[in-house]
Amino acid sequence: MFEGSMTALVTPFKKDGSIDEEGLRELVDFQIENGTDVILATGTTGECATLSVEEQIRAIGIVIDHVNGRRKVTAGAGANCTREAVALTRASKDLGADAVLSVCPYYNKPTQRGIYEHFKVVAGIDIPVILYNVPSRTSRAIQAETILRLTELPNVVGVKEASGDLAQIMKILEGSPADFSVLSGDDSFTYSIMCLGGKGVVSVAANVMPKEVSEMVHLSLEGEYEKARELHFRLLPLFRNLFIETNPIPVKEALRMMGKPSGVFRLPLCDMDDGHRAILADTLRGLGLI
Exactly one of 72, 93, 132, 199 is catalytic; which is it? 132
> Is the bond preceding residue 154 a cis peptide, omega within 30 degrees?
no
**Percent of the chain that is helix, strand, coil (3-state, to 5):** 50, 15, 35
Instruction: Confirm if 156 and 1 have CB atoms less than 8 A apart.
Output: no
Instruction: Confirm if 8 and 202 have CB atoms less than 8 A apart.
Output: yes
CA terminus-to-terminus distance, the chain: 36
Instruction: Specify the 3-state DSSP secondary structure of 166.
Output: helix
Is 132 annotated in the active site? Answer: yes
Exactly one of 160, 191, 199, 252 is catalytic; which is it? 160
Instruction: Confirm if 104 and 115 have CB atoms less than 8 A apart.
Output: yes
Active-site residue list: 132, 160
